[in-house]
Amino acid sequence: MRAKRLHLLRTWRPRSLRGRRALHRARATPVGGRAVRTGQGSNPAGCRSNPCPQAARRCRPRAARLRTAYDGQGAGVLPSPTRVADPATARTPGPVPRTTGDAVGGRYVLLDVVGTGGMGTVHRAWDLQDQRLVAVKSVRHADDPSLTRFAREQSLGVDHPHVAAPGGWVGTPGGGAFAVGLATGGTLHDLLAELGPLAPRVVVDLLDQILAGLEALHAAGVVHRDVKPANLLLDASPGGRPHVYVADLGVAGLLGDPAPVGEGPGTPGYAAPEQLAGAAPDVRQDLHAVGVVGLELLGLVSAGGSLEPAPGAPDRLVDLLLACACDDPAARPPTADLVRDALTRCGPYPPSPYPVVPDRLGPVEVPVPVARRRLT
């Protein structure tokens, strides 16, 4: 193949001035240590002194193919569009190299599966456009009823450091896929299953981040309606302050939407009673779930039964969480920012270290684009 390209390069002459100049630049560098004859000598002025009267458009496609086939070093082998970075210098070293040939929609390179659910499969992927790791969620079939939830989730577009809202969107055969920020520390459910009840200071910090994310959603007119530990993602941390994301907006509702027909969405045990009964979206429904999550983190309640409370939990903190989890929506705090303010007044809290959130996904090797040198 290389010999054939070199033969064509030596024998073919473009008719236009632009094409001849492009060809001259491609031949200017020796190939394999030997100069390539151009038919006009080694002086580029030979081409400029004999302009071709034919239209330049006839040579553009051929000149473009030459630029693609030959890099700035004059090599006759078409370079690969991507290469896998050396493990020592890659951003995220690991054992799974990928190339752009695996890209979904020409943008997301799927690396490995990190979860499955009712809406489809979640992959860890490399975003070729933004050059970062993301989580890509895909719908299995175009006629799947969850496609409606899928479209609603990707259309919300809330940008906040504590909300894992969908970003880019691409179409796939028979469905679609969209990307959210990648959280490597698993979920709050995983952390609670491993460590049990958490210290009050840690619980208040986590709740403040959750409420900050919900406050941003509520300001955009969105009610999450499925706040629970399994939908609260964590970044891996070696012992510092854990970072929480409110995720999975698939059943989110908009303020002002009519009440659903029949039973409402949500997870029993966390969803407010009026929500499960089919009430219209209301921000106090999310605050009910936050209260239940806070009590569960302290060890006061759990989905599986009662647990011993964590030592040192102030009574004012417990009373605030019980008020949030009240069955009567009128007895709950009206907004997330008021709950955040109340959390700061429930202290002081005994000092305690932050828990270690491990990296549950492990290392992975990401594709790094090869920079091509343009012919000038």
Q: Which residues are catalytic?
A: 226
The tokens for 295 are 């009590």
Hunting for tokens 């969620």 — which residue is that? 137
